[in-house]
Structure 1
């Protein structure tokens, strides 16, 4: 489920919304913030459940699945604050330069998706 949500939001909705007629950068950023806040909230719950299950040792949790939780933590704690500052500036009408943090976030999304896919395959194979 987590992988499907990441693929749908990060790799479909996020880039496509800016191609829709009449969607400005400000409108797209506003929508994106809401969507990613919701996605990240659900992801945090999934990650917390994975970590709790791993700590309790009731069910083996593949290392890649736990790595996805770690990637999410990096995204939320290290990358998102900078992205939020930039989007705040753009939404306030300021001209803000493109952010390298966005590229870092995308790379982390790819790593998280790969970790989730690998963890899922290991769960199904085990």
Structure 2
């Protein structure tokens, strides 16, 4: 396995682990903690997801560089590129709507629920699948 392949495998599974830990463990669990209100949970979530998304962008860029520099199976490349596209869709299409609602709630306004939250979760689920499959395909060589 080349250096680019090794780095790509590591990045893929670190990225997958971060999404699983933050989106599917931290995000829902924090609202079960005593005295965590919607405002507090959203405030924490906004900060955590902002950092997660920055780290995801860095990982996606490094992964893209690895894909350009190394030799990979076409299927692995395709799955990993889909993960990058899903991340961009979240950041460019969904996060702005979620940020507007979060800002309104944090300002004390009665903001209606948003379908953007379901879209973000759907994209996270898809990202988990494509990262997992892409990582396995990388390991399979």
The TM tier, using the shorter chain, reads over 0.9
Using the TM superposition, name which of 44-53 and 59-68 deviates more: 59-68
- TM-score normalised per structure 2: 0.85
Give structure 1 stretches of 5+ with no counterpart: none
**Aligned-pair RMSD on alpha carbons?**
1.0
Q: Equivalents in 2 of 1:5, 1:32: separation in Å?
A: 14
Moved more, 43-52 or 66-75: 43-52
Higher relative contact order (CA 8 A, sep 6+): 2
> What are the equivalent positions in structure 2 for 1:107-118 lying under 5 Å apart?
107-118=122-133
Matched, 1:106 2:118: no
Q: Distance in 2 between matches of 1:52 and 1:103?
A: 31
**Counterpart of 2:6?**
none
Structure 2: unaligned runs, 5 residues or longer: 1-13
Asked if structure 2 preserves the Cα contact closer than 8 Å seen for 1:67 and 1:115, the reply is: yes
C-alpha contact 1:83 1:99 (8 A) present in aligned 2: yes
Query: Structure 2 matches for 1:14-33, cutoff 5 A?
Result: 14-33=27-46
Counterpart Cα distance in 2 of 1:59 and 1:25: 47
With normalisation by structure 1, the TM-score equals 0.95
